[in-house]
Chains A and B, each alone.
Chain A
Amino acid sequence: MKPGSIAIVGAAETTELGKIPGMSQTQLHADAALNALDDCGIKMVDVDGIATAGESPINLAHYLGIVPTWVDGTGVGGCSFMLHVRHAAAAIAEGLCSTVLITHGESGRSGVGRGGFGGGSASLAAQFESPYGPMGPPSMFTIPVLRYMKDFGLTVEQLALIAVIQREWAALNPRSSYKEPLTVDDVLNERMIAYPFTKLMCCLVTDGGGALILTSAERAADFPTKPVYLLGTGESVETPMVSQMDDFTSSRAFRVASRKAFAESGVHHSDVDHLMIYDAFAHLPIYGLEDLGFCERGEAGAFIGERHTAIGGKLPVNTNGGGLSYMHSGMYGMYALQESVRQLRGTAAAQIEGAKISVAHGVGGMFAASGTIVMSNEKP
């Protein structure tokens, strides 16, 4: 940030202060936010960056109706908002977003709608989804797929094939959790978890971790490793409630995040040598291929069926075996990035010959959040 280049233009507190039993904690955030908008004469639609602490920025973006291209949930206690201001300044200076909303709301005395990150049993998800018996990702993340299958004619066999092809990749990787070959029938005959998803269409549950170290391209020359340069990045959130997604056949967070990353990178889809799409469940690569712009709407099932994403295909996808066969500890995005780095260093178990550009696309929650990173081993 250049000194004097970023300014605070709107500021307001909640309408009341002191004892506010008539508002939940989330609404205190919203009340302050609406007052800050009024203070500077803009609408929520003008806001494209959101930062908050003590409340999930996903919840808040959806509650307020914001489509962000920058999201910051840094929560380090009472000074979180100072850090948000700093991160926002860097983000605006960098063009990640243009107008940032930073909110605080806390029902510290009345305790209305408290319950930790996400709001506990008073959150909208707890009130309007939990009573209907969803049991975590296998029965929530999966809900949209029948709508996709009906609208575009995707078959369960095509869905099963995704697990089969990823197992083929996993077989090349000594660190994969599962390596034995699979058939479409094997996948379909496995135990049903949440129709139409059998166990083999769901990610593994394993232990593990990963870490990354970043520095400037200039300093990278001093390191012994082959640098992987960032070309473009994108992020967004849509809704903490799968039932409130705009469209069950496409993820808005995927579209917004990837569009931003590709625009920033200047990379064309046809230039991409390697792609990682966070595959918590077998339908994720379908949504990813289409929402990132590698396939037209409704065509990803056939694209995978033609083995374009398989060994020897023109767009190798999830070459470590993915969350379905490699590993999935819970927040798999780290492993997608690790595989992109390995491919660009030339050290992957299933190495793509001459890979120069890799894209890693991650998801958070049930289509709730998304991040896309475009990388290269060559400086543009």
Chain B
Amino acid sequence: MADRTKIPRPRPTPETQHFWDGTREGRLLIQACNDCGHVYFPPRPFCPSCSSRNVDVLEASGDATLYSYVINHRPHPGFDGPYAIAVVTLAEGPRMMTNIVNCDQTPDALQLDMPLKVTFERLTDDITLPYFEPVGDAS
């Protein structure tokens, strides 16, 4: 049985704190550049595309599609059985690593480009992780 306390804990920095504050409130926060319009993740207080410091935090819709994954078969104390380590493409453009939850961890159930929606799981008082689940009855 998975021991969720064995999941590596992110340690926020001043530049990423807004992201973790957001997930605690059930919001997925990304960033956008006011000068060139580039939408990006992970967090930085400047635009990685044009170097401008004129950037804002933006709430993502939480809609995404499955870009790629592996199903890890080696045992990890924080996870049950083989589990998928996935990368999703957010509707707004950026990609992020995640797990696909509420879904069988099999190649049949995990089809590339399937639509996904963000969901959140509280890990500690400080850290809530964003996960993604299939949209509709795909599970």
Spell out A's residues near B (CB within 8 Å).
Answer: 21-24, 26-27, 30, 34, 37, 43-45, 62-65, 112-113, 120-122, 124, 126-135, 138-140, 142-147, 150, 191-197, 241-244, 248
B46 within 8 A of A: yes
Can you name 9 A-B residue pairings with CB atoms under 8 Å? A27-B45, A44-B51, A63-B44, A112-B13, A113-B13, A133-B83, A143-B86, A143-B87, A147-B67
Within 8 A of A (CB), among B66-94: 67-74, 76, 78-79, 82-83, 85-87
A122 engages B13 (CB within 8 Å): yes
B57 within 8 A of A: no
Given A65-B48, A132-B97, A133-B78, residue A121 in contact with residue B10 (CB < 8 A): yes
Cα–Cα, bound, A112→B86 (Å): 29
In angstroms, how far is the closest chain A Cβ from the Cβ of B122? 13
Within 8 A of A (CB), among B1-47: 7-16, 41-42, 44-47
B51 engages A127 (CB within 8 Å): no
Given A27-B45, A113-B13, A127-B16, residue A146 in contact with residue B68 (CB < 8 A): yes
Which residue of B8, B42, B72, B95 contacts A130 across the interface (Cβ within 8 Å)? B8
Closest to B111 in A: A150
B45 engages A193 (CB within 8 Å): no
A128 engages B13 (CB within 8 Å): no
- With A121-B8, A122-B11, A143-B68 known, 4 other A-B pairs at CB within 8 A are A22-B14, A44-B48, A127-B16, A147-B67
Which residue of B50, B72, B129 contacts A135 across the interface (Cβ within 8 Å)? B72
Cα–Cα, bound, A146→B88 (Å): 13
B61 within 8 A of A: no
Tell me what chain B mostly uses at the interface: helix, strand, loop, or mixed: loop
Closest to B98 in A: A132
Complex A-B, nearest 10 residue pairs according to Cβ-Cβ distance, in ascending order: A65-B48, A24-B13, A127-B10, A195-B71, A147-B68, A243-B97, A130-B8, A194-B70, A44-B51, A139-B72
Cα–Cα, bound, A191→B73 (Å): 9
Cα–Cα, bound, A153→B76 (Å): 31
A124 engages B74 (CB within 8 Å): no
Closest to A138 in B: B74
Chain A residues lying within 8 Å of B51, measured Cβ to Cβ, are 34, 37, 43-45, 64-65
Cα–Cα, bound, A112→B51 (Å): 23
B71 engages A150 (CB within 8 Å): no
In angstroms, how far is the closest chain B Cβ from the Cβ of A74? 25
In angstroms, how far is the closest chain A Cβ from the Cβ of B100? 10
A131 engages B7 (CB within 8 Å): yes
In angstroms, how far is the closest chain A Cβ from the Cβ of B3? 12
Closest to B84 in A: A195
A128 engages B96 (CB within 8 Å): yes
Which residue of B50, B98, B112 contacts A150 across the interface (Cβ within 8 Å)? B112
Cα–Cα, bound, A37→B51 (Å): 9
Chain A residues lying within 8 Å of B78, measured Cβ to Cβ, are 133
Cα–Cα, bound, A133→B123 (Å): 14
Which residue of B16, B42, B129 contacts A244 across the interface (Cβ within 8 Å)? B42
Closest to B79 in A: A133
Cα–Cα, bound, A351→B92 (Å): 52
Cα–Cα, bound, A21→B8 (Å): 24
Closest to A27 in B: B15
Chain B residues lying within 8 Å of A134, measured Cβ to Cβ, are 72, 85, 97
In angstroms, how far is the closest chain B Cβ from the Cβ of A138? 7
B112 engages A147 (CB within 8 Å): yes
Given A34-B51, A143-B87, residue A133 in contact with residue B99 (CB < 8 A): yes
A27 engages B70 (CB within 8 Å): no
Closest to A141 in B: B70
Chain B residues lying within 8 Å of A21, measured Cβ to Cβ, are 14
Within 8 A of A (CB), among B91-139: 95-99, 107, 112-113, 123, 129
Cα–Cα, bound, A45→B73 (Å): 41
Cα–Cα, bound, A120→B9 (Å): 11
Which residue of B71, B113, B129 contacts A194 across the interface (Cβ within 8 Å)? B71
In angstroms, how far is the closest chain B Cβ from the Cβ of A70? 19
Chain A residues lying within 8 Å of B99, measured Cβ to Cβ, are 132-133
